Amino acid sequence: MEDLQRLVKIVTRLKQRQYPLLELKSINENSSKENLFFRHIRKGIVSTDDDAAELLYGSKSEDDRYRMLKSRLKQKLLNHIFFLDFTDDNEKTPESLEQECIHLLHQGRVLMLTGELKIAKGLFFKAYTAATRYEFTHYKVQALEEMVKVYSENHQPHVFEDTVNELNEVRKLYNAEDEAKQRYYYIKMMLSKSVNSRRKNMDYAIESIEWFHKKWKQFKSFNLFEFYYKTKRNVMTLQGEHEKLLDFLNDVLSGKVERYEINEQRLDISNVQHAKVYALLKLNRINEGLEAANQYEEFVNESQNEWFDLKELQVLLAMKGERFDDALEYIGKVFENKRFITLDRVVENKWKLYNAYLHFAHASNFHMRNFNFAKFVDFVPEYDKSLEGYNVALLILQFIYYVEQGDMDEIAIRRDELKKYMANHFKENFSYRTRTIYKLLNIVVENDLNYRKILSRSKYLINKLNEAEVLEDTYNEMEIISYEFLWEQMMNMIKLERASSWD
């Protein structure tokens, strides 16, 4: 009761003049302007400042009333960040564990500003305990630093000295982790920046795996293990070492690596499962991949971004295994998900492209009554280095579409657009398989859809295509359905067109 009485006095004395949060559960026409503005944004009723100002005040966005309202709404939304729920079906996640430490430290520090040391001390000790249990070293350092202040103010020299000694020891671990963190994020940046950057920095990344390993073995810290695990996983994926990676991932999933017990509360199981399913996809182990994906599904729900990542793997596995009915079922669930409309536009377009490929593959032609291909073929995507993989996949699909239509002008246009990517670092950014399919498509154009000539002049490249399996992930490409399958379907179209022209 004493603590409650102290808190009541503090809140009464320093309370805010306005209610700091939105009334999210009871918004109606009589609600405050902030709540109405929130509802209009959430429902997509307004999308620009001018739209909002006109609806709320019948004015332009320069109106001071609107600008002040916008500022108040933003502040209240930021206040809600303190109360975000990172749990998953009431189960704690690594994010919710970190949030717990952040909240305890924040509450204690604010109470210190009011002069309330007693309650603050208890909060800092809870933060210290949580940070120790969950291995959040930086929050443990912060908790100990705050406890040093409290013991100083309370004139407790013995516990002050003990806390300072512990703080100095924890800082040694923190400094090691901080050094590793900078190294890890540099490698992560350079391996994802571009294909050229990836190649230039791969040796350093490989060397760093052993460096992270030594640091982890020295300090036995989860944070150092995580840097080691993620770097090793990324390098092995990019290098195409998927068999070795599977063994490593299975060790991680067992909860023990080299006799080290992994802090299971911190380990992101869904991330490890995703890497395992992806490795099986690259190895063409379709049934194993789908089985592992089903196990992975236990760790995610439809409200999470990870759920869309899972469905992407399931769709790609099913399409690679030519199980198109299964793929249609998976992708149907994606479009039915209420969160689909909230996805980033680039991600949304990728899903639509998957859908277009899938509907073509399912029917082996473009004459699908329940799918409109026109929106995918009536425009030529502009060159964009950041979207190279997507655009090349789209152009290949468009090329095949116009082969079926027998429209040589449009076919040539798509061939020429693909040629631009060849001139713009195509050789560097795309695998031998993608460069080979481009050469095959060029044969189609040069031989004016003549089936016999195409068949004769493509044999060498077809053999090369079959030999050139790509295991590494060095390239920015999207081979959504195997090029062999696409080529076979296109040749069937050309053969049928040739046969019908004889009738």
pLDDT score at 168: 97
> Higher-confidence residue: 156 or 422?
156
Q: What is the mean pLDDT of residues 39-43?
A: 85
What is the three-class DSSP state of 273?
Answer: helix
**Percent of the chain at pLDDT exceeding 70:** 90
Lowest mean pLDDT among 213-217, 260-264, 303-307: 303-307
Q: What is the mean pLDDT of residues 344-368?
A: 80
pLDDT at residue 258 greater than cutoff 50: yes
> What does the CA dihedral 407, 410, 412, 413 come to, rounded to 10 degrees?
180
pLDDT score at 503: 44
pLDDT at residue 195 greater than cutoff 90: no
pLDDT at residue 425 greater than cutoff 70: no
pLDDT-based confidence at residue 359 (cuts at 50, 70, 90): confident
pLDDT at residue 9 greater than cutoff 50: yes
pLDDT score at 385: 67
pLDDT-based confidence at residue 122 (cuts at 50, 70, 90): very high
Q: What is the mean pLDDT of residues 237-256?
A: 93
Q: Residue 249: CA atoms inside 13 Å, Cβ hemisphere, count?
A: 26
pLDDT-based confidence at residue 435 (cuts at 50, 70, 90): confident
pLDDT at residue 373 greater than cutoff 70: no
pLDDT per residue as tens digits for the range 486-499: 999 999 989 877 65
pLDDT at residue 303 greater than cutoff 90: no
What 372-377 contacts at long range (C-beta under 8 Å, 24+ apart), as own/partner pairs, is: 373/401, 376/352, 376/401, 377/401, 377/402, 377/410
pLDDT at residue 369 greater than cutoff 50: no
- Rounded Cα distance between 225 and 258, Å, is 11
Read off the tokens for 144.
């100990």
Q: What is the mean pLDDT of residues 136-157?
A: 96
pLDDT score at 133: 96
pLDDT per residue as tens digits for the range 399-413: 998 998 889 999 999
- Rounded Cα distance between 436 and 424, Å, is 16
pLDDT per residue as tens digits for the range 44-60: 888 889 998 988 888 99
Render the burial of 197-231: b for 16+ CB within 10 Å, e for the rest.
ebeebbeebeebbebbbebbeebebbbbbbbbbbb
Determine contact, residues 321/362, Cβ cutoff 8 Å.
no
pLDDT score at 502: 45
pLDDT at residue 418 greater than cutoff 50: yes
**Percent of the chain at pLDDT exceeding 90:** 50
pLDDT score at 266: 93
325, burial (CB in 10 Å: exposed 0-12, middle 13-18, buried 19+) = exposed
pLDDT score at 362: 80
384, burial (CB in 10 Å: exposed 0-12, middle 13-18, buried 19+) = exposed
pLDDT at residue 471 greater than cutoff 70: no
Residue 484 pairs with which residues in a beta bridge? Answer: none
pLDDT at residue 79 greater than cutoff 90: no
Backbone angles phi, psi at 86, to 5 degrees: -95, 5
pLDDT at residue 501 greater than cutoff 60: no
pLDDT score at 429: 56
- Rounded Cα distance between 297 and 442, Å, is 42
pTM above 0.95, yes or no: no
pLDDT-based confidence at residue 20 (cuts at 50, 70, 90): confident
pLDDT at residue 27 greater than cutoff 90: no
Lowest mean pLDDT among 147-151, 244-248, 251-255, 380-384: 380-384
Q: Spell out the residues 6+ positions from residue 464 whose beta carbon is closer than 8 angstroms to its own.
A: 432, 436
pLDDT score at 219: 95
Mean pLDDT over the full length of the chain:
87
Q: What is the mean pLDDT of residues 72-94?
A: 83
Highest mean pLDDT, choosing among 8-22, 94-108, 292-306, 364-378: 94-108
pLDDT score at 469: 66
Could you please report the per-residue DSSP string of 127-164?
HHHHHHHHT-HHHHHHHHHHHHHHHHHTT-HHHHHHHH
Determine what percent of the chain falls in helix, strand and coil, rounding each to the nearest 5.
75, 0, 25
